[in-house]
Amino acid sequence: MDRSIIDKQFRRVPRRPQSSQQAGFEERVRKAISGQHFSKTLDITPLIIEHGQVTMSMPVQPKVYQQMGYVHGGAITSLLDTATGMCAVTLINEDEMTLTTELKVNFLGPGEGDTIIATARTIKDGAKLLIMEAEAMAVFADGSTREVAHMTTTYIRIPRSPQD
């Protein structure tokens, strides 16, 4: 089999051109994240917002520690889920919203360093379901990095009712 066929795997390029209905996704992501109390509780902020790929950042600080002084797995999952949720916002139309139906995290190393960053990208941009993956990485003061977690997750598109 031609190696070029195999090399098509694991590509995460946007599957569909951005439609006019998706225009303004950056503003919608910023509005959504600023309306999230929980992201504020964890001091999560957006670093990069692109069509189908989003990077968020969370400082490593005592309020997210578990009993051993590392970032709690739930806080890491929250960062990953926030990144994929905002990535989903870049893919939906203005009259849609999304709900998380499932997520799965593999933990790769301790949540430590100065900051945890998480990048979400699109596995499938479907008519009904959005499937994403995200990866969290610890960034230390000296710029070195270490892998923390990998997530896959599914969102379902639902119509936004007028009052939402």
Site residues for its own copies, 6-25, by CB under 8 A, read: 6, 8-10, 12
Q: Considering only residues 13, 128, 142, 162, which one is a binding residue for its own copies as defined by CB under 8 A?
A: 128
Residue 135 contacts its own copies per CB under 8 A: yes
Instruction: Map the footprint of its own copies across residues 40-59, applying CB under 8 A.
Output: 40-41, 47-48, 55, 57
Instruction: Map the footprint of its own copies across residues 81-120, applying CB under 8 A.
Output: 81-82, 85, 97, 99-109, 115, 117, 119
Q: Kindly tell me which of 26 and 103 has the beta carbon lying closer to its own copies.
A: 103
How many residues belong to the site for its own copies (CB under 8 A)?
74
Q: Kindly tell me which of 20 and 142 has the beta carbon lying closer to its own copies.
A: 142
Q: How far is the CB of 96 from its own copies (least distance, A)?
A: 13
What span, in angstroms and rounded, lies between the C-alpha atoms of 116 and 6? 33
Phi-psi region of 7 (alpha: psi -120 to 50; beta: other; left: phi over 0): alpha
Q: How far is the CB of 93 from its own copies (least distance, A)?
A: 17
